[in-house]
Chains A and B, each alone.
Chain A
Amino acid sequence: MDNKYDVIVLGAGAAGLTAGIYLSRARLKVLIVDSGTAGGQMVMSYTVANYPGVETTSGWNISQTMLRQAKSFGCKVLTQSPVLSIDLTSELKSVEVEDEGTFQAKAVILATGGVPRELGMKSEQQYKGIGISYCATCDGDFFTDKEIVAIGGGNSALEEAVGLTKYASKVTIVHEFDHFQAQPWIVEEAKKNEKIHFLMAQDIVDFTGDEHLEKVIVASKTTGEKTEIAATGCFIFIGYVPNTGIFQGIINMNDRGEVLTDQLMKTNVSGVFAAGDLREKRYRQITTSVADGTIAALSAIDFLQQKNKH
């Protein structure tokens, strides 16, 4: 197998697939590698109504269309293929992929996105799938007429909490701060909903139960007083963390682990670009990732053209 490519794209979400489409349309030999499913966080969205030019659809549909486009232009796409090791600093960069071998390219685009943030507690793992969930649309109906907890204070947490009131008899929103980060309109909507209750400025202490989750134990950040909330379900929506661990020490990042780039998506390493949710930026949407992926691809094309001149 020929393992040499012009560009390797790490990540097959909106940014990575867009980069692949632009690169392969420019007749470059492109490999896209993703440790999970093509589409990344796009597939988390059941309904996408704000992607310009496309009427209401699902994140899955958009991702499958992007994937087909990328493949139709000649991209090779490897999914469910974790990267074992990486060399980004050599002129010819290399990426070792589980079960597939080592691939080389003159340029690499990092588009590994983010993963849902977890609380990191042992009991969180213990009750996953038997009470703890990260997807209201997937698992909400298991909690019909039950009392549940939603953890978080951003847009997602409040929107999902409101959505969960279709099923649950009571939803207690637990948040670590005394105020919400969510937009005022969704905070208002949640406050107006009689099924929703609020516990602010709380730390999550533990999850307990027997065969499934029965209680969420929290403690006040100000007084330390513990409260046991009876709940058979707990939905955790506390944002995302950038999936950049493998680039630590090689690529410049901020203290949140987000990759730093210039406006052309160039990182501190020559021939290495970054696009999408792993970057330091304020807004994270499918559209912003698509824009990042486009710019990173065009920058990589320019980089390779300049390189070929010399």
Chain B
Amino acid sequence: MLRTNLQHTDTDSDFKDIIENNENVMICCGRMGPMCLPVYDIMDSIKDNYENVVFRDMDFDGPAGHNIISLPECRRFNGLPFTVYFKNGKVAAATTSIQNKKQVKEILDREFV
């Protein structure tokens, strides 16, 4: 279970609803580990500056995790967290392992202008 300040994506229907009904979505799929916590914190710290983006986290081991883990874009990944950016329901970018604020903002600014 994730204990973050972000809204969670807990079920398959949550996931479907979020990516089908929002143009720009960033989902960080991880655990409460040291590589994941900084990414959740970055999302929390910048979410107010990106009102056009929906920010969510997702428990890697939870019932919705397979939606991210099984994406072709995450096939090679073996470092938590898996962070996926969706544009109109399609994967626009995906990263593996810890990222810094600059790296996250670069993708948001590039994909969700």
- Is A135 a contact of B76 with CB atoms below 8 Å? no
- Is A43 a contact of B34 with CB atoms below 8 Å? yes
| Chain B contacts for A39, CB-based, 8 A | 37
Known A-B contacts A60-B32, A80-B45, A133-B97; A139 and B37 likewise in contact (beta carbons under 8 Å)? no
Q: Give B99's nearest chain A residue, CB to CB.
A: A129
Q: Any chain B CB within 8 A of the CB of A153?
A: no
Chain B count of residues within 8 A CB distance of the other chain: 22
**Interface flags, B57-87, vs A, CB<8A=1, else 0:** 0000000000000000000111110000000
Q: Any chain B CB within 8 A of the CB of A123?
A: no
Q: Give B75's nearest chain A residue, CB to CB.
A: A211
- Is A130 a contact of B33 with CB atoms below 8 Å? no
* Chain B nearest CB, measured from A26 CB (Å): 28
Docked CA distance A133–B78 (Å): 9
- Is B41 a contact of A80 with CB atoms below 8 Å? yes
Give which listed residue, A38, A129, A134, contacts B77 with CB less than 8 A: A129
Docked CA distance A143–B78 (Å): 8
- Is B34 a contact of A130 with CB atoms below 8 Å? no
Chain A count of residues within 8 A CB distance of the other chain: 32
| Chain B contacts for A133, CB-based, 8 A | 78-79, 97
- Is B80 a contact of A138 with CB atoms below 8 Å? yes
Within 8 A of B (CB), among A129-149: 129-135, 137-139, 142-143
| Chain A contacts for B34, CB-based, 8 A | 43-46, 59-60, 135, 137-138
Known A-B contacts A43-B37, A139-B80; A130 and B32 likewise in contact (beta carbons under 8 Å)? no
| Chain A contacts for B96, CB-based, 8 A | 128-130
Known A-B contacts A129-B77, A130-B77, A138-B80; A36 and B38 likewise in contact (beta carbons under 8 Å)? yes
Q: Give A36's nearest chain B residue, CB to CB.
A: B38
| Chain B contacts for A212, CB-based, 8 A | 76, 78
Q: Any chain A CB within 8 A of the CB of B42?
A: yes
Q: Give B49's nearest chain A residue, CB to CB.
A: A99
Give which listed residue, B35, B36, B79, B101, contacts A130 with CB less than 8 A: B79
Q: Give B31's nearest chain A residue, CB to CB.
A: A138
Residues of chain B touching chain A, judged by Cβ–Cβ distance below 8 Å, are 31-38, 41-42, 45-46, 76-80, 95-97, 100-101
A–B Cβ pairs within 8 angstroms, 14 of them: A37-B37, A43-B34, A46-B33, A46-B34, A58-B32, A59-B34, A79-B45, A128-B79, A130-B76, A133-B79, A135-B35, A138-B33, A138-B34, A212-B76
Residues of chain A touching chain B, judged by Cβ–Cβ distance below 8 Å, are 36-39, 43-46, 58-60, 79-82, 128-135, 137-139, 142-143, 211-212, 232-233
| A-B residue pairs, 8 tightest by C-beta | A129-B96, A129-B79, A129-B97, A142-B78, A80-B45, A138-B33, A37-B41, A44-B34
